Structure formats: C-alpha cells, structure tokens
Structure 1
Amino acid sequence: MRQGFRGELVSASLVPIGVNRVTGDAQQVWRTLRGIARNHDNFCYLLGNLGSPWRVEQDGRQALLAAGDFTLVDSRRPYHFDFPEGPSTVSLELPLEWVARWLAEPETHVARAFRTSEPGWGCALAAFARPWEPKIACAPPLPVNLLTDQLGSLLSLACGETTVATNHMPGLAERVALQLRQRLAEPGLTATDVATSLGVSVHTLHRAMAANGQTFANQLMAERMAQAKRMLQSTAMRRLTTAEVGRRVGLLDPSHFVRLCRQHLGNTPAALRKGP
C-alpha cells in the first residue's frame, strides 16, 4: 500500500446539487462494474479542472482537460480518470432526475471537454461552474433556483440540446420575455414562478429559452439592468436614491446593485445618473 498519500474532499449541498472540491496526490481512479453493482446511488458529475492537465475516459471516448476545462461523466457506467500530478477539481454531483430536465441523452455527452479556450456555450458553462465551491452552497450569492437553473440551461446549451417541441405554443420565448419585463421588480423571481404563470412546465420554459440562445437568469438580469439604466438616466426619477432604483428592479442589496451596474452597464449607478 502506498505510504503518505494525501487527499481531501470538501462537500456541501446546494439542493439538489452536491458541491465538492477535490485535491490530492497523483492517482488514477476507476469506476468499475463491480463498484457500480455495489452502489445504487448514481449521479452525473460535472467535473472542472483547476490545476494541471488530467485525462478522462468513458464509453470509449476520452479528453485531456487543461486548467479551466470541464467534462461530464455518468456513474452508471465505468469511467477512468488519470491525474498524473494529482487532482484539483470542482466536482458537481448532479441527480439523474435533475439532469433529465436538461439533457435528453446525457450519455452522448460524457468524456467531452467544455473548454475555456474555445468560444461558445461550453466556455460559458466552464466559466460559470468554475467558482462553485462548498462555501457558495452554505451562503448562496443568488437564490438557489436561479443558480441551479442557470447551470442546467448552460449545460443544455453547451451540449447542443436546444431543440424543443414548442410548435404547439408559438411565441413562448416572447411571452417569457414579457413576463420578465412585467415582473422584474419581484425579488427572487424564479423560472418556476414564470412557468406557473404561463401554464407550462419549467422544463419547457428552459428549453424554449435555450432554443433562442438564452437562459432565464441571463435574460432576467438583462431586463433588470436595462430598466435600471432607464431609471437612472430619467430626469423624472432624480428624486429616487440609487438604492431605491435597485429595489425597484428587484435587487434589494445596494452594494450588490452597484457591483451589477459596474459589471453589466460599465459604471456605478451614481456615475450613470450623472451621465457623460
């Protein structure tokens, strides 16, 4: 037996997703048929590399993951990881029923690399998932439903599963956009809230938005920021504090509102109010 082996797993739950960080010494990991038979708790795992390159193999496919890259594996079938310099990994444990909301055939997407070096939805997925760590699960920066829905939407887009049968509901994406504009002042507005009001399933709503190249969280934030900019630059709204403007677009934390304005509008609320 190898002496002095070092490894660490830190875990927390962001229901329904398990958020894990894994570090350790050089190692190889096999998921075998015998191990699968002994363990009836199966998941898909979205794995991100934070360190030196390592290799994943499943179902005859393999990928070499550079720092920042992500991949998907399914614990119902054998896989192999080769960590020549040890893992430094984000590991998101995805319940199979949750994955089924976003991917019709997850098995067709295992052991592929979602690369930060290649523009597209795979890069967006990797950038969004990389900061996830157990402390986020303990103190989520946004409502949990928004975070997990955004992750699922980006996973679906990155895998190219954006086709959705919405011909019987023409204009669904436009109806969602209208709802977002009308309800953006509601703190914690979720996709479930909007889907319920439109009489569709959350799954259908997300797939319809993905077919238009959108995610619920992205579009909601875009609507909130557009409305905030209009209010900040309106002379009729000068009497409102910037914190009140944030509140009226559903963002109750003034400091968070300032950060979002910098990120999405390129300046602070006070500077936007002053104009050029």
Structure 2
Amino acid sequence: MPTQPHAEAHRSPAAIERWSTDAVPPAQRLDYWVGAVCEGFLEMEVTSPQARHFDAMLESAPLGTPALGIGVNRVRGSAQDVYRTRRAIERSRSNFYYLLCKTDTAWSVEQEGRSARMLPGDAVLVDSRRSYAFHFVQSADTISLELPTAWVESWLPDAPGQLACRIDGSAGWGSVLSRFVQQLTPEAASAPPLPPRLLADQLGGLLALATGPGVAAAVEPGARAALRRRVLEATRERHAEPGLTAEAVARELGISQRSLHRCLAERGEGSEGGTTFATALLGFRMQAARRMLGDARFDRLAVAEIGFRVGLRDASHFVRLCRQQLGATPGALRLARIGHRAGG
C-alpha cells in the first residue's frame, strides 16, 4: 500500500466521523484516501482515472450501540475503482456484509464470478470475506451500510446466493428498500428517529423482502410457468455444450441467474416438482445418451464420443453417470439391446 499521511478522523458532537482529502495537498490525496478507506471501512485498494485532481469524503456513524454492530457510511468523491483483494482479506481482523445504494449515476460491481450493472437507486449486497470490485465511473457518491455477517444470515439464509445481484430500486420491495437506505444517513444514525433496534429490524425485513421468495411470488403464475418452460427448453437445446452454466442460459434469455434458479425451484405444471439447473441439465444429457446407446446407428461411436456428444468431456465420469442414472454402464446398455434383438 502506498505511504500516506495518517488519516485522522475528526469526531463531531453528533458522533459522526469524517475523513476528507481536503486535509492534504492535491498530489497526496489519492494515497490519503486509500488510508482513509482502510481505516474507516476495511482494507481495500483504490485507483482513479482522476488521480491528479482527486477529491473525496467519507462520513461514518454507528447505528445504536456497538452491540448492534451496524455502521452507516456515506462516500462522496471522484470516479474510482475499489478492489477487495485476497491479500487484504487475509490482513483483516473483522468482516462484514455491505449493502450499497447509489442514486446519482450508474456503476458496476463484481463478486463471486458475478457482475452487475447498477442503475441509480439500485442496491446490492457484497461480502467482505470474498474478493470484490466496484467501478464508479463518474462519481463515488454512495450510502454503504456495514452489516454483521450473523445478522445478515439470520435474515437471508441464502445470503451467499444474493451477492453482487442487482436489487431493482425502481420496483417492488426493492424500491422500498432503496428509499429506506437513502434515508439511513450518518446523520440519521447519529440521531435516530426511532429506536436503533427497530430501525435494524425494519432494514432486515426489507432486505429479506427485496431478495427473498416474495420477489418471485410477485410474478403472475402464468408468467412463472412460461419462464420455467423457456429455461428448460433453452437448457435442452444447449445440453450438448461442455461446461454449460446457468449463467450462460440466463444471459441468453435476458434474465438474472436468481430468476432462473427460482423458476426452476418452484413446482411446475401438473405434478411436476421443483428442480435445479444441474439436475435438469443432467437429465437432458442422460436422455440423449439413452437414445444414442439404444440406436444401432451409433454403435460405430466409442463410449467416450457419445459422452462428448451429450456434453461430458470425461469418459469415466460419463460411465459413472450412466450407471447411476440409467442403471448400467454404456457398454452394458448396448449389449442388452443387442442381446434383446438377437433373442427376438
């Protein structure tokens, strides 16, 4: 990390801590800001295309007592890229989830192999125990709520599945959450209008509503069934692609991975139960393998080639799956068919 002047925090009577690059000459401001971020938030790296004319301010206040563990942070400043690296994670003494909301311009976030383009007013959850990147291409003006990991996971049992997923700030419960976060400023945290624990419960409930099953339930049943059919059909059509992922299918259909997984998990039409992407994909691959092994026209193909044609590169893995899913190895299935024809 670059050497910088000590990022001194000035505590006001309202218990709001402030860091500002105005405290140092322009040439030292970006380095000073890195120190301020590491002291006020946690260890991160920061770069900026506006390094020569950089300016920024961080204001922070706890919500309630330290036992509650929620911090409210507001950042204002120049365009910048923020990186939480593995090395920084190893040096950190504590970790949190962060819920961010930015209202002025678009930006983007990356974590857990996911990326999302955030529109003004959208919110997003990240985990400081995992690497992430924020790209503030025009400005960094953001409210960032520091949330204890156990607290978040008590409200969101599937919290890791929500990381770097855009919470739409313009519709449904996402819009309510966005407006609440925008009001929860450092000033509001230092002089809360309601008991802090009540505000924390309100935040947790809105976060659960904006990311939980209620989001999927808000979609009309007919639309959910149609989306499920589209996902399954796209998966069936592409089952032969080695390494096919839910992300690739979701991208093709123009939906989020979260929507894809949720529509598959719901019970389908008739007696059709919920499933997962991996289960559906494996089912399509095994159906294709059964057809090919049951057709004499494919006897000229080696077992490994049939596995490859249904999307499985590893021949031994293909054999194991056939035994598990079809009840016999590919060779045994062929022999049974040939024997049946000879006996007939």
Q: TM-score scaled by structure 1?
A: 0.56
Partners of 2:192 and 2:213 lie apart in 1 by: 28
Residue of structure 2 equivalent to 1:74 = 127
Do the aligned partners of residues 79 and 101 (structure 1) sit closer, same or farther apart at CA in structure 2, a change above 3 Å counting?
A: same
Q: What amino acid does structure 2 have at the position aligned with 1:146?
A: L
Q: Secondary structure of 1:115's match?
A: coil
Cα distance per residue 1:25-61 (max 9 Å; x no partner): 1111111101100113100000001221110111111
Is the partner of 1:68 in helix, strand or coil? coil
Equivalences for 1:1-276 in 2 at 5 Å?
2-15=51-64, 16-118=69-171, 120-160=172-212
Determine helix, strand or coil for the equivalent of 2:145: strand
Distance 1:14 1:161, change over 3 A: farther
Whole-Å separation in 2 of the counterparts to 1:161 and 1:137 = 30
Give the aligned residue type for 1:156: A
**Rounded Cα–Cα distance in structure 1 between residues aligned with 2:185 and 2:211:** 23
CA shift for structure 1 position 117: 2.0
CA distance in 1, matches of 2:176, 2:107: 21
**What is the deviation of 1:161?**
5.3
CA–CA distance in structure 2, aligned partners of residues 86 and 6 of structure 1: 10
In 1: Cα distance, 2:213 partner to 2:98 partner? 18
1 or 2 for the larger relative contact order (CA 8 Å, sep ≥6)? 1
Amino acid at match of 2:205: S
Q: What is the letter of the counterpart of residue 136 of structure 2?
A: F
SS state of the match for residue 150, structure 2? helix
- What are the superposed Cα offsets for residues 137-172 of structure 1, whole Å, 9 maximum, x if unpaired? 11111111211100001111111157xxxxxxxxxx
Unaligned runs of 5+ in 1: 163-276
SS in 2 for 1:85: strand
Alpha carbons 1:104, 1:161 under 8 Å: kept: no
Instruction: Return the alpha-carbon distance in structure 1 between the equivalents of residues 208 and 60 of structure 2.
Output: 25
Q: Secondary structure at the match of 1:121?
A: helix
Cross-structure match for 2:304: none
Inter-partner Cα distance in structure 2 for 1:100 and 1:82: 26
Q: Distance in 2 between matches of 1:154 and 1:109?
A: 14
Matched residue of 1:146: which SS? helix
What do residues 67-101 of structure 1 show as CA deviations (whole Å, max 9, x unaligned)?
Answer: 11111000000001111112110000001121122
- Offset at residue 123 of structure 1 (A): 1.8
Q: Distance in 2 between matches of 1:105 and 1:76?
A: 16
- SS of 1:140 mapped into structure 2: coil
| Alignment partner, residue 37 of structure 2 | none
- Matching residue's letter, 2:94: D
Q: Which stretches in structure 2 are left out of the alignment for 5+ residues?
A: 1-29, 31-50, 215-344
CA RMSD of aligned residues (A): 1.4
Shift of 1:105: 2.2
So what's the TM-score if we normalise by structure 2? 0.45
The amino acid that maps onto 2:82 is V
Aligned-pair CA distance for 1:115: 1.6
> How many Å separate the matches in 1 of 2:213 and 2:145?
20
Q: How many residues align?
A: 161
Measured in 2, the distance between the counterparts of 1:49 and 1:130 equals 8
Work out whether residues 7 and 22 of structure 1, in 8 Å CA contact, stay in contact via their aligned partners in 2.
yes
Structure 1 residue identity aligned to 2:211: C
After superposing on structure 2, the runs of 4+ consecutive aligned residues of structure 1 that deviate more than 6 Å are none
